[in-house]
């Protein structure tokens, strides 16, 4: 779908991209690549024009939008539905039953994720879209090199993007992974504690939907298939996010039993459970669960940048460790190393996912309570 846009059309897409960048998530550099992506997703310029009504307030009810735009519900609704169909508009009722229309960002969690959660046809247009996203995000090394202090400052002040939910069963033995609790936490009764077991997360919601892992799906379209797993359909949404994604065709609704079956198969391949919350607020109910590999997904690679909330950190029983290196091979964040005595040691990049404990044949690794934020930023590029 390569085309040259006239100046006025380009300006309209650029203006819309600026507003979408303000909707949250990770802001992206606005240039030709991002404009091409937006044009791919939304060639309907009439619907594009409705993004401007979210410039000052990204979440609005229909009543508010009528006041903001000066248009009627009959004029607004068809175009809002077009935006929802491409992942740019979230349109679900709040607790009072009033539908709230919320503009979605490009990424974390937004258009990119929703687009590739659906089963895209393997054709030239979708391959071009996958390549455009690759071009947009693959320049991180250059960004780090040219503005390392700025990226470092951004990572230091950013709220956690995702939260790790650890494994609970050891693959070699079928036993529960040992979780060492240092102390009893005094928690007010009204405070909601996020679940710490993936089984509890599945049990918590009546509406569960599954779609394709957007990272692995994109890599498939780039002829770079995942090296860790053949599983593709294991990206979950919950509650009203499940209702939204299934209504738009990005996912399909499934039972709790099917969800657990998919999760157990994913565990066997050493994938990591990463939960997401509204506006990165881990005190609120989870909206989705990514099950990540260590080659395609966002936190993988030498130039990955991520901010993660976790409740645990791996610890090694040095007397039981045989130095086999399985934990090092399977660590997603390169936190696990073998020391000079050929014994495993855990670094600060550990996100407490439990993959190392799950894979350890000697049960030499447990998870220790250590609630913290892990800020991952690579060394300054040469």
Q: Is the domain of 242 the same as that of 362?
A: yes
How does DSSP assign 222-282, residue by residue?
A: TT---SS------EEEEHHHHHHHHHTTSSEEE-HHHHHHHHHHHHHTT-EEEEE-GGG-T
Counting as low any pLDDT under 50, the low residues of the chain are 183-193
Q: Are residues 70 and 194 in the same domain?
A: no
The verdict on residue 347 lying in a domain is: yes
Do 13 and 95 reside in the same domain of the chain?
A: yes
User: By the 8 A CB rule, do 264 and 132 touch?
Assistant: no
- Are 277 and 163 spatial neighbours (Cβ–Cβ below 8 Å)? yes
* Shared-domain flag, residues 34 and 180: no
The total of other beta-carbon atoms located within 10 Å of residue 337's CB is: 14
Read off the pTM. 0.89
Domain that holds residue 97: 7-106+125-131
Do 43 and 162 fall into the same domain?
no
Q: Is 70 helix (H, G, I), strand (E, B) or coil?
A: coil
Q: Does residue 382 form part of some domain?
A: no
Classify residue 211: in a domain, yes or no: yes
| 86's tokens | 């491409």
The pLDDT value given to residue 1: 55
Element spanning 221, H or E? helix 214-221
CATH of the domain at 13: 1.10.10.10
Q: How many domains does one find in the chain?
A: 2
Complete edge-to-edge strand list for the sheet that includes strand 89-93: 59-61, 99-103, 89-93
Distance CA 325, CA 318 (A): 13
Question: Are the beta carbons of 166 and 273 closer than 8 angstroms?
Answer: yes
103: β partners: 89
Compute the CA torsion angle 177, 178, 183, 188 (nearest 10 deg): 20
**Do 154 and 90 share a domain, yes or no?**
no
Q: Give domain status of residue 190, yes or no.
A: yes
pLDDT of residue 181: 55
d(CA 226, CA 220): 8
Q: What is the pLDDT, as a whole number, of residue 111? A: 94
- Both 209 and 323 in one domain: the answer is yes
Per the prediction, the chain carries an average pLDDT of: 90
* Token couple for 105: 């960002």
- Residue that finishes a domain, picked among 80, 97, 131: 131
Of 73, 97, 131, which one is at a domain's C-terminal end?
131
pLDDT of residue 301: 56
Verify that 88 and 224 share a domain, yes or no: no
Q: Which residues contact 269 (CB under 8 A, 6 or more apart)?
A: 228, 229, 231, 293
Same domain, 205 and 100: no
Report the relative pairing of strands 365-376 and 306-316 from DSSP bridges: antiparallel
Domain contains 136: no
Distance of CA 162 to the CA centre of its chain: 7
Tokens of 206: 């009546």
Question: Over the stretch 189-199, which tens digit does the pLDDT of each residue have?
Answer: 333 446 678 88
CA 91 to chain centre: 20
Q: Are residues 154 and 275 in the same domain?
A: yes
Strand partners, 338: 344
User: CA torsion, points 10, 14, 20, 21, in degrees to nearest 10?
Assistant: 150
Residue 331 lies in a domain: yes
- Say which DSSP state 176 is in: B
Looking at 97, 131, 165, the residue that finishes a domain is: 131
SS3 69: helix
CA atoms within 13 A on the CB side of 163: 26
Residue in the structure block whose two tokens are 């002829």: 223
Residue 125, both tokens: 């247009």
Residue 116 lies in a domain: no
Whether 232 contacts 213, CB under 8 Å: yes
**Angstrom distance (rounded) from CA 133 to CA 110:** 13
Q: In this structure, are 99 and 168 located in the same domain?
A: no
| Same-domain pairing of 52 and 165 | no
User: Do 332 and 162 meet the contact criterion of CB atoms below 8 Å apart?
Assistant: no
Does 86 fall in a domain? Answer: yes
């Amino acid at each position: 779908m390569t085309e040259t846009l006239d100046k006025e059309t380009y300006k309209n897409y650029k203006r819309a991209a600026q507003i979408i960048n303000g909707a949250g998530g990770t802001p992206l550099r606005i240039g030709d690549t991002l404009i091409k992506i937006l044009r791919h997703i939304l060639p309907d310029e009439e619907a594009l024009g409705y993004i401007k009504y979210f410039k000052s307030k990204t979440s609005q009810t229909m009543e508010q939008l009528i006041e903001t735009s000066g248009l009627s519900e009959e004029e607004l609704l068809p175009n809002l539905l077009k935006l929802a169909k491409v992942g740019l508009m979230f349109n679900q009722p709040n607790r009072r039953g009033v539908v709230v229309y919320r503009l979605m960002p490009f990424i974390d969690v937004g258009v990119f994720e929703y687009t590739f959660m659906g089963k895209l046809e393997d054709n030239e247009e979708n391959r071009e879209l996958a390549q455009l996203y690759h071009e947009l995000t693959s320049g991180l090394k250059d960004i780090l090199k040219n503005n390392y202090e700025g990226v470092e400052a951004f990572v230091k002040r950013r709220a956690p993007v995702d939260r790790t939910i650890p494994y609970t069963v050891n693959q070699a033995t079928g036993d529960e992974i040992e979780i060492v609790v240092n102390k009893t936490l005094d928690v007010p009764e009204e405070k909601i504690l996020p679940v710490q077991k993936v089984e509890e997360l599945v049990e918590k919601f009546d509406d569960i939907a599954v779609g394709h892992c957007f990272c692995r799906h994109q890599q498939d379209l780039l002829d770079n298939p995942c090296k860790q797993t053949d599983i593709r359909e294991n990206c979950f949404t919950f509650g009203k996010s499940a209702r939204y994604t299934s209504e738009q065709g990005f996912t399909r609704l499934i039972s709790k039993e099917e969800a657990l079956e998919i999760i157990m198969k994913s565990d066997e391949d050493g994938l990591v459970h990463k939960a997401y919350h509204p506006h990165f607020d881990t005190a609120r109910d989870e909206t989705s669960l990514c099950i990540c590999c260590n080659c395609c997904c966002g936190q993988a690679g030498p130039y990955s940048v991520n901010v993660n909330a976790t409740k645990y950190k791996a610890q090694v029983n040095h007397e039981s460790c045989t130095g086999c290196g399985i934990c090092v091979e399977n660590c997603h964040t390169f936190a696990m190393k073998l020391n000079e005595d050929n014994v495993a040691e855990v670094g600060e990049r550990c996100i407490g996912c439990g993959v190392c404990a799950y894979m350890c044949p000697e049960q030499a690794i447990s998870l220790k309570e250590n609630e913290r934020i892990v800020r991952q930023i690579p060394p300054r590029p040469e």
